[in-house]
A and B are shown apart, each in its own frame.
Chain A
Amino acid sequence: MGRRGIRFLWEEGGRGRMGRLRPALPEAFLREARDLVGERDLRTEEAELFSHAKDAWLLGGVWFSRGKEPILPGAVAYPESTEEVSGLVRLCCRYKIPLVPYGGGTGVVGGALPPAGALVVDLKKMNRLLEVDGENLLARVQAGMNGWRYEEELNRRGYTGGHIPQSLPSSTVGGWIAHRAAGQFSTKYGKIEDLVAGLEAVMPDGTVVRSRAVPRSATGPRLEQLLLGSEGMLGIITEATLRIFPFPERRLPLSFTFPSLEGALEAARRILRRGFRPAVLRIYDGEEVGLHFRGVVEEGRVLSLFLLEGDGKQVEVEGEVVEGECRSAGGSPSGEKPVEHWLRTRFDVHLAQEVIRGGGVVDTVEVAILWSRAAELYRKVRGELEGLEGMVHVSGHFSHFYPEGVCLYLTFAGFPSDPEAFYWGAWEKVMKATLELGGTISHHHGVGLVRARWMEEELGGFLSVLRKIKGALDPQNLMNPGKAGWGDGRGGR
């Protein structure tokens, strides 16, 4: 993967020789960085470096389990203010040191992996909820704030952020924005890009930019949107103003099982088309029902799970519509139990670790596609993945819904003879099929290192526009370089 001369990731290494892969940063740089953030907030011990040499990309886990060693960053800084972030960025520009913003490290695409000898700028000490504005339904929050703590603080005050990704316990606000994340309740509340009302960020030259929170605006392109999905390559997000919602007055759990995926999808499409927005809507295929709902839902059926929430009256009407559409598309009601089960287990993440410990390879891939090709895409990728040597599990669910289409979330696992070939082979199948059917290769996990090679096909002419923007804003190519297929800034030179 060390394409274009930037060394990332893990190398074969003799155990216990960690220092070997640890490039030193210039003493003068370290001294200045220390002066800026303070002794305690500039870390160079191996434990800190190693902890930032990985994120939640599962291929990294596979390598780790096979004894490979990570490429270490040169230092980790924990700024406590926007001024400190800006100072660090300017310092890196002066010394030509690459830098990588780091939030919770829960990204699953390798986006936060530092190139050798980079400065990691960890935002987790910028962790305060600065303001909750109930009248205007806005919250101002620092980028390093932990998601769970953010939601808990809002709940205490009678609100919800409406953004509940499965990684909520560990991810940060800045990471959500940098990856255009989606929460489990996104069908009602939207993805993070729908929730950002204003931003503060440090640009690649160290200048601080801020946008006010306004309902909507027509004063030219809203350039803060460049940071949504920027994956640390166009600046460091330091603060966000996010839309919030009154804590739901009522919640209604419903579930239905269907003999086929097509029926479940059709019911969902009709519900969305009629203007209803269930907070949670998840459609699981038979395999996932077997894996996650054993003993709760009849085996072999497709499960549609709903959690409706909001104003009491609205929920009541929505409940009737959901019930009517599911029944008329061939669904049978299966009660509240599956929803309760899901609510109880939705943060239980353990299977992937167990597969890797057992010597296997596992990953998840999410894409988005129009309704008209959704079932076709599912069938096509399933068939192709199942044909790969060593594959033992392929399953899928649909989990974020729009009037025009859906997100398909796939899980695959195998015990192949060549793990790397298997891994990239599986990704190739899903990416190609999605592009062929006109979908987008990522709905919410982002690009990072995993999807970089398909970005030309994904973006077409926009890729060179993006590269030009990168080159113009970051001419030295220091901000999280080498990522996402456009993070090298080639268009700028």
Chain B
Amino acid sequence: MEGVEDKLFLCALCPNMCRFSCPVEEVAGTETSSPQGKALTSLLLLRGELPWTEENARPPYLCLDCQACKLFCPFDFDLPSLFHPVRVKAASKIHPPEVHSRLLRMREKGNPFGEPREKRVVGKGEVAYLPGCTAEMKEREVLLSTLRLLEGAGVGAVLLEGYCCGLPSFRAGDEKRAEELRGEVEGVLRSLGVGILLLSCPGCLEFLSGLEGIEVFHTSTFFLKLVEEGKMGLPRLSGRVTYHDPCSLGRKRGIFDPPRKLLKELGLEVVEPLKTRERAVCCGGGNPLEEARGVSRKRAKELAETAELTVTTCPTCKWALGREGLRVLDLSQVLEGRLG
């Protein structure tokens, strides 16, 4: 905690030199939604210098974990990880109402949507495919396209349904529940004895990487590999699309080019939105706070102004941006030849 407090202290003294890059600050417009404002509030909460109230505990959650600010920080701070200890405290004390329902849903139903679901392991093969909560429950087309693409390429895959990587719990500050959920995924992978884990969701990728003995892939890089190895054929398409970089795939892992390469190989023209690649704006979909919805709206507008169709590589981005009326598809759908 010392290290965290020390960093938060330096950040609290900073004149907010990354303020302009924070999408939450841009839509919320408040001082406590700015990076420095969140750090100052977090520090004071950790030190016990601010009363723990629902409102005071809001700023540490007013962060999308998108790391857009990191690019501009002279200290190279990773703010989400500095807010995390405050969220851990808040999770067991007091927190914003939206976080409260997320915590409950995750505890009771094991997914952020709070809907009931069963755990199922379907099929056989050397690859385990985990679609993740959003692809499974809200964007099922992504899951179905992925399965068909795998089948078409002759890749034997086991589908893991009803499993959550645990990231939504972790981000809400519930480390225990996050560990349980991640443990369940690891358990089923071990029992199946597979060596490859395939993911549709970059959030799962962020949270499940580092499992010993298991190679973890996101669909974008996996499918590119199959195409390059000649195992997967591509349909011919034409038209203009724009591409939205999910934070957990692009900025956080540097995977910018594989999806673009596939889109170009399909014959599509890719036009870049104003804020793209390292500077791409978060979709806001992973955060339950009302302010995050404003970020989704703004990003959807920017993308809509760029091209008639947006392609992305994250079911949560697709869901969050689609909810704002954007025409958006997942790369897996486009790889099947769909453009609408």
Q: Which residues of A contact B (CB under 8 A)?
A: 15-16, 18-19, 43, 45-48, 50-52, 56, 61, 64-65, 76, 78, 102, 104-106, 122, 124-125, 127, 144, 146-149, 152, 156, 167-170, 347-350, 352-354, 356-357
Contact = CB atoms under 8 A, between A and B. Distances in A.
Given A46-B53, A105-B15, A169-B21, 13 more contacts: A15-B47, A43-B30, A47-B56, A47-B59, A51-B41, A64-B13, A65-B9, A105-B31, A167-B15, A168-B20, A169-B19, A356-B13, A357-B13
B133 to A, nearest CB: 30
Interface in B1-51: 6, 9-10, 12-21, 26, 29-32, 34, 37, 40-41, 44, 47-51
30 contacts: A15-B47, A15-B49, A19-B51, A45-B55, A46-B51, A47-B37, A47-B41, A47-B58, A50-B44, A64-B12, A65-B9, A65-B13, A78-B29, A105-B15, A105-B16, A105-B31, A125-B29, A148-B20, A168-B20, A169-B17, A169-B19, A169-B21, A169-B72, A170-B20, A170-B34, A349-B74, A350-B10, A350-B75, A353-B14, A357-B6
Q: Which of B13, B34, B50 has the most CB of A within 10 A?
A: B13
B274 interface: yes
A169 B20 contact: yes
Nearest to B54: A45
A156 B30 contact: no
A45 B37 CA distance: 13
Contacts of A51: 31-32, 37, 40-41
Contacts of A56: 15
A350 B34 CA distance: 18
Contacts of B34: 170
Looking at chain A's contact residues, the main secondary structure is: mixed
Contact of A170 (B19, B30, B59): B19
B41 A357 contact: no
A444 B93 CA distance: 46
A47 B12 CA distance: 13
A357 B75 CA distance: 14
A78 B48 CA distance: 27
A56 B13 CA distance: 8
A169 B18 contact: yes
A149 B25 CA distance: 12
Nearest to A14: B49
A241 to B, nearest CB: 22
B328 to A, nearest CB: 23
A146 B20 contact: yes
Given A47-B55, A47-B56, A105-B31, A149 B20 contact: yes
Given A15-B47, A46-B56, A47-B56, A169 B16 contact: yes
A106 B30 contact: no
A348 B15 CA distance: 11
A18 B14 contact: no
> B interface, how many residues as a size bin?
35 or more
Contacts, number: 114
Contacts of A167: 15
A102 B40 CA distance: 18
Contacts of B13: 61, 64-65, 352-353, 356-357
A124 B51 contact: no
Given A64-B12, A146-B20, A169-B19, A76 B31 contact: yes
Contacts of B12: 64
A202 B51 CA distance: 35
A342 B192 CA distance: 56
A170 B31 contact: no
B20 A18 contact: no
A122 B31 contact: yes
A41 to B, nearest CB: 9
Contact of B40 (A19, A50, A347, A349): A50
Given A51-B41, A64-B12, A16 B32 contact: no
Contacts of A349: 14-15, 17, 74
A470 to B, nearest CB: 27
Given A50-B44, A357-B9, A348 B31 contact: no
Q: Which of A122, A146, A357 has the most CB of B within 10 A?
A: A146
B254 to A, nearest CB: 21
Contacts of A46: 50-51, 53, 56
A50 B20 CA distance: 21
Contacts of B20: 146-149, 152, 168-170
Given A45-B56, A169-B72, A354-B10, A78 B16 contact: no
B253 to A, nearest CB: 25
Contacts of B51: 18-19, 46
B16 A348 contact: no
Contacts of A64: 12-13
A42 B49 CA distance: 23
Nearest to A353: B13
Contacts of B21: 169
Contact of A127 (B15, B16, B29, B74): B29
B72 A104 contact: no
Contact of B30 (A18, A78, A148, A149): A78
A125 B26 CA distance: 9
B55 to A, nearest CB: 4
Q: Which of B12, B32, B58 has the most CB of A within 10 A?
A: B32
Contacts of B274: 156
A170 B26 CA distance: 11
A104 B19 contact: yes
A147 B20 CA distance: 8
Nearest to A17: B49
A50 B50 contact: yes
A170 B16 contact: yes
A18 B19 contact: no
A33 B257 CA distance: 51
A52 B13 CA distance: 13
B10 A353 contact: yes
B94 to A, nearest CB: 12
A124 B40 contact: no
Contact of A350 (B47, B48, B59, B74): B74
A205 to B, nearest CB: 27
Contact of A149 (B17, B26, B32, B58): B26
Nearest to A152: B20
